[in-house]
Structure 1
């Protein structure tokens, strides 16, 4: 009898690691409840950072951190959208300091500018156009009703000598493309002046409406169209300096993209 009593005492002092099931013969966790669960008291979780128990705050929910990690409390916020109104869903800015350069042999061979420079024409038909690599970026559209605005800014320079009586200039153009389809284009003329190495600031604003839902690639490409009274040594630089009177910081390009949408999918936002 004494031995049996001692065995019971020793067994009672051992920790239990068995799984417990309610309404199930095969529990799959420490506590496996097969049915409704009614909680009348507190629900706390381990704060692994501080090694303490946390009850969370008002309106917080438990969010899984993945296998092997305890859940954590998160604040759940659902944006309040009014129907049929546009909201700024995405905006970002990109920059590039590499730019593109064109010598006399890089001039475009486009025969008809009016036929080529048409909205939605494919980039493959734009002879002599070079993309500014740092401005080729991916954006996302989540609604079939959207307006996407683009603001492109750069500096255009040519290493012209100081101009006397000769009219020396270069026609150039820059286009904004979405998925290699033209959405906006501006062409200008850069003239030599009384000072050498003329440069100008180029600004361009474009818009695309109702892009398809999903991922899109935005890019900017420019071209040297035609030169007038220039020599073979004249370089046209867009987004990069062609001479030392400015530098690549001053001449860098930037592209700002804003996407306004009428929301159709109300995804909750979790902090």
Structure 2
């Protein structure tokens, strides 16, 4: 016991005599410079003084540097620890629009053909864009998943009392004016009461090439049971309808039928040893 105490006292005196001590190095770069593995079997306290114990940290905390000349501190990590080959969300884009599409209404014939193919070019003679949903995006990693979510309200009013009317349409997602996703839908109105529905489209692309893109949402009318006798709008309400008397639409508004486009970009997590 006396021998151990003598060794400790000798080491402390040695530390005090020399400003820097090196273990396995002849040129120490700090007060204590260890060139080799360090095994720590119990707590690591930081930020203490001669009379106050340092902070030992808590479960799940990590040691964070505060810069040169400052003691490190224990902090909780606010980011999840990801496993290798998992996908990490790196960016989210979101836009809404209340202007919608009004140019596919009564007396506007359906466009043909009724089908579309992925990767075909945007054709303004068929498609109408929801202008304010245009989003510029950047893909930085080649291994990725890009998820698109579109939601918009649709409204149809039949002009003729006592009859029904229907419209079929397609809405799609264009990336740099190339069609990457689409879904058809339809709406039917009975009598002259306004009828609403919600259109949704969810789609995920994998391993999109890196670069900058512009993403748009566009829709087209593909059939109508009575072209001349209905009002049809996407992403906005029909404020008034007739023919006589002209009535004010109180069952919906632009906010309730607004359009939304959300884009999530996730990148593959890889660790290199």
Identify the TM-score tier after normalising by the shorter chain.
0.5 to 0.7
| Match of residue 199, structure 2, among 196, 199, 202 | 202
The 5 Å alignment of 1:148-227 reads 148-161=146-159, 164=162, 166-194=163-191, 196-227=193-224
1:254 aligns with 2:260: yes
CA shift for structure 1 position 171: 1.3
User: CA separation in 2, counterparts of 1:210 and 1:191?
Assistant: 39
The 5 Å alignment of 1:35-50 reads none
| Match of residue 107, structure 1, among 86, 106, 109 | 109
Aligned residues between the structures = 195
CA shift for structure 1 position 61: 4.8
1:88 aligns with 2:89: yes
User: CA separation in 2, counterparts of 1:78 and 1:59?
Assistant: 17
Q: 1:108 to 1:127 in 2, by over 3 A?
A: farther
CA shift for structure 1 position 107: 3.2
User: CA separation in 1, counterparts of 2:197 and 2:64?
Assistant: 57
Q: 1:163 to 1:230 in 2, by over 3 A?
A: farther
- Corresponding residue of 1:239: 235
User: CA separation in 1, counterparts of 2:160 and 2:111?
Assistant: 28
Secondary structure in 2 matching 1:217: strand
- Corresponding residue of 2:14: none
CA shift for structure 1 position 230: 4.2
User: CA separation in 1, counterparts of 2:174 and 2:270?
Assistant: 26
CA shift for structure 1 position 167: 4.0
Q: TM-score, normalised by structure 1?
A: 0.63
CA shift for structure 1 position 109: 2.9
- 1:142-197 C-alpha deviation (Å, 9 max, x unpaired): 11111111111111112324753x44111111101111111111112211124512
Gaps of 5+ in 2: 1-28, 32-62, 69-74, 240-248
Secondary structure in 2 matching 1:251: coil
Q: 1:265 to 1:123 in 2, by over 3 A?
A: farther
CA shift for structure 1 position 106: 3.6
User: CA separation in 2, counterparts of 1:83 and 1:265?
Assistant: 6
Q: TM-score, normalised by structure 2?
A: 0.62
1:141 aligns with 2:139: yes
Q: 1:90 to 1:226 in 2, by over 3 A?
A: same
User: CA separation in 2, counterparts of 1:61 and 1:160?
Assistant: 70
